[in-house]
Structures are given as structure tokens and as C-alpha cells.
Structure 1
């Protein structure tokens, strides 16, 4: 592919880390009629993936916004990334993002774009495994009853290591060595990353007014878990996993993230350490299980590319839920035992 060919749609990429590099490689391997015209980075001299066009690198966000027709945001964070996305949307551009944090915490600011269908965010939850599209699409044919999801691969890996007898600090250090966990792992191990993702899912399927603060207040991580606690759960074939849930309680929808005991018969109990899973229960559809890779550069980039294809074709992004789903009469959610 020739970068900068005349007549191609100009893509502005905010961030060129591992996912951004993987996306550029996917684009270069396909004939999409696009060019990655501008790539916003902090350090243009830093080594990049082979697919990233070095001539497009810039430290000037104004250059990216002015010179691009579609914006792809992969820089992360809730500040500058969100501000640039909102400016692009206000200018009539379509925006693709994998940023769950900014959408969870600044959802109201993006409401006009969500209503207009100009914002795309499949990659923000479960990477390339579809979660946003089903909840914003086919699953809306059923009234929701509850949802349970394993949404953080780092916690999954650490819990898998605890199952082998490793203590938490040893498991965390190994996850950091392998690149599964950041130097500051707080967002993962304290449940914040999963809570961001759960907030998006809950707003798409249960209650569009659910606040980030309410979900954050019901979030607990895995730092306190020990091999002994994990082993006890495994005695009858069960497992402990960090699970995000949405279920009816006291006349409202409650969203919570916490480590729970999954009995061997539970649909999510078989999720391997490198996979995410989402279990949805609806009144008409019954039980639906979606599972697959929930992290990694290539799976995430594949979802970003899929969203980009929709944006290029002017197909609308996921539509917001208009009103909270009604509480199911006489329904008792399937209990999951929280590990204190």
C-alpha cells in the first residue's frame, strides 16, 4: 500500500502503541482506499511497528484533527484523548475508539455523537470478541434479566497463577514480566478496568443513566486473595474469578465488580486465563454466552478495524438505550458467591 495516495480517505490516528501499530499493519495488508495520514505521538523518534508510516508521525494534535476525515483514538486516558475525540465529533468527523475509561467516565459528553451514530467503540470491551454490538443490537429483542462477565485478562492470568500455588505478589510480578500487567497494575487488579467495561455494557443493555460513580462504589479487586482461598474453591471443581455483574436489586439495576466463586456448572467457570466471557440472560432469548480473546494487540486491532470499516461506510455506531429496561417481575437473579 502506498501511504498518501491521492483520493484516499485520510485517517488520523491518536496514539501508535502496540494496538496502533497492529492496526496500521492490518490496514496495510488490506485494500481499503484509506491512508493513515497523521499519527499523533509523544516521541517521533521512538521505534515503531513496521506498519506505522513514519512520515505521518506528529506531535501536533491540531495537524491530526485538521488533516483527517476519520479519527481513530488509541492513546487512552480520560483527559486529552476525550477532548480531542469530542472536538473531532463536533467538527462532524466519525470517531473510532478503544477507550473504555473515557466513555465510562464522560459518557454524557458523548451523548450527541452516540445519538447521531458517529462514535464506534466495539474494541473498548473484550477486544475483538463482540460484546458491544450484540448488546446494542440483536439482544435488545429480549428484556434483560441479568449479565455476568469476565472482563480483565490480567486478573484472569493472576488468578490462574494462584491456582498453581503462587502468591499474589509473585503472580503479579510474572504478569508484569510477560507484559500482561502495567508497572502500576492498579487499574487491573483493583477492578477499575473491569468496572469501566461493565459500565458501558450496563448502559447499553440495562440502564442508560447508570453512573460511573455507582459502579465504582461497588467495585472490589483481587489483591486480598491467597492461594489457600483459591484452592478451597477448587476442591469441588469451582473457580474464583473477577466478575462484573448487572442484576435487579431493590427495584433498580445494580452493577458490581468483585471476585466471586463460580461453581463448576457455571457457564463462565471454564474461561481460560487468556479469555474473556460474557453471559447474558434475557426473557425471550434465554441464556447467551459469548467468549473469546479479550485483550492483546491483534484482537483489539481487529475490532478497531471492523469499526473503521463501518465508519468509512457511514454505517451508524452502536445506538444508546433510550430508557432503563423494566425490572423483571418476580425474577431472582442467579446468585454468585462474593469472596470477601
Structure 2
């Protein structure tokens, strides 16, 4: 029994240590995702281990100590996304008004055909803007009715799971589809005009997930979001970046994105808002994100219901408020982190030419 526990403990320690390595291989980066699962499994092994632990066996004590450290590390990484930590984004002082923006984000799962369920959820949340990803031409046709109330659109349906559709009640200024690093993966960029007349910069992304078949390295995924982060960094104006990042909130890359962009995460101090996998209760983590500049405060954020996709939708309502910038501090970037961002972007651009 002791040997089995030692092996299990070492596997969990290795799973914790692998993401600390600066390797982009998918089988390393995938361990960024299940921090909660590793922490819970590790805690269970610790409890059982203590019953069978022989303190006279030095190797058992060492392994147990390493596992305790691993579980503690995983807990610390997830702690910001719990109510135990201060909120990064303050609650709105103006819960309604013409400076509010309501955004709905949904990964539809391309082969899913339950469009009526999605339309019903959209009606319930009544957003100002809708972003759907994994949308092909079938989904474009199925969502045509949205154009009756969302006349401003930007569409790029694809049959490779990277299609994107935007529907908006708000006027779109300079809407643009870009292919940042891959010709097969679009991103969308625009400004929207709030009822108040204020303009907000919007960036929607959906890079490759780490997987052994199509993206054996995460180099381009990481570089794509960091390139957007660098663009946002140069602009001191209301900005939102949203989409399915195919990366978790607590990963090194997402942390670097926040540092590079200076954007805030409304989940910090509120919860994880795990959006994937809607079809697996035991394997869930936050892949769909909405980051925003410190010009906004939060009115409401919610994870929508399961409806047929493997992702839960995300809804957020933000309030553009005078004085918010002075009250909410942007994430700081150290020199070493800045150099790491530049290095990752350079590596991604080199991959683009290969």
C-alpha cells in the first residue's frame, strides 16, 4: 500500500511541477488546467498517506513533504479566484445607465445543433453584444433572427471550429477581422459606441488549444493573446478583450497577458466561473474570459446554464464610470516579465513564418 501511495504522490508532484518549466509542449502546458483536481486528489492522498506513513522511512517523509508543498502551491494559484481574496474590480456605483455595456460570450460547439436553446438564453440575458465562437455557416443561418434586434454584425464563419460571429445593438466602428499568427484562426477587433457616446475598444480572440494533433506546442496560442495585450497596453482608453482563450485564468500565459495589457479580471475575489467542460462535472476550468481596462466597474457577471455546448456561456455587464481609473490599480509588470512577453511574441512570430 505504501508503494502505491508513494507513486500516486510522486505523480501529483510531477503534475504540479511540470507547468513551472518554460516548455511549450502540449503535454507540459496541459497541466496548467487541472489545478483544482490535482489539489483535491493530493489532499485525499495526504490523508490516506498519514495513516500508512512510516516516519522511519526517510523517502516516505520526503515524498509526503513534497506532496504537501504541491497541494499548497496549487491552492495558492487558485486562491485569487475565490471570495477569500480582495476583488480586483470594484462593484459599480451606477448599476444602470447609458454608460453600461452588456456582453454575452458563447462557444457553441460547432457540431451542436441546439440553436433554439442558445437563442432563449440570449433573450433572458438581453445583452448589448453577442460573441459566438466555433460558428460555421450552419450557425450563421441559425442565428439570423438575431439581426432583427442586433443590426450591427461582423461575421467570419468557418468549418474548422474557429469561426466567429458578432451581433451588436451598438454601432461598430472600424470592425476588422485579423489573422494574427495563423491564416486559419481569425480574431475580431472594433470599437463600439455606447448610448452615452463613449467609445469602447473591443478585441475578440480564440487561439489554438494545446493538443497532440493540431497544436503540439502552445507557442502561437500564447503569442496571439500577448500580441493583443501589447496592443492594448499602448492605449489608455476603455477596452475589453474577450473570448475562448483555450487557457485557464491562473496559467503563466494568462498572467503575463494581464501584466502586458494592464487589464483587470472581474473574477478575482468573486469565483472561478468555470466554463468548460459543461458535459463533465469533474473536469471543469475557466477557459472563456472577459478582461477589461480599469475604466469599468462591474455591475454583474454570470455563468449561463448548460444548453448543449461543451462550454457554459458567460455574461457580463460593465459600467464605464468617471473616477474608476483612480480607484482600480492596473497589474504591474516587472522587467523580467516584460522580457518574457517579448520573447514569447518573438517565438510566435517565428513560428508563423515556418
The two structures have a TM-score, normalised by structure 1, of: 0.29
Which protein, 1 or 2, shows the higher relative CO under an 8 Å CA cutoff with sep ≥ 6? 1
The structure with more radius of gyration: 2
The two structures have a TM-score, normalised by structure 2, of: 0.29
